[in-house]
Amino acid sequence: MKQVIDRHNLHSQNLHKFDQPSLQLQLESSTYAILSKEMADRTRELRQMKGEELQELNMEELMRLEKSLEGGLSRVVQTKGERLLNEIDALRRK
């Protein structure tokens, strides 16, 4: 009889433990929430760089986005020019 009571008490204690998430689970859940938010932010930024979802931006944010895009475009144009010059030089050497 004592063994049955002991098992019942042990089982009751274990049920209580399952009601509370483990520290590891809480940390993983927190990490997941942080990463999910970052993913959503990056996805929104990418859409805005493609010219989508701009209506929610204020003037300062639009100017920051424009400056970022101009900088990127400048690097693309510069790289393209360098490659064209390299191709022209290679053709002249032939």
pLDDT tops 70 at residue 20: no
Cα 74 to chain centroid, rounded: 26
Q: How confident is the model at residue 19 (pLDDT cuts 50, 70, 90)?
A: low
CA distances from 66 to 12, 25, 26, 59, 79 (A): 62, 42, 40, 10, 20
pLDDT digits (tens, 9 = 90+) for 34-67: 999 999 999 999 999 999 999 999 999 999 999 9
> What pLDDT is recorded for position 25?
87
Residues 6+ apart with CB under 8 A from 62: 54
Judge whether 54 and 48 are in contact, CB under 8 Å. Answer: yes
> What pLDDT is recorded for position 94?
83
The model's pTM is 0.61
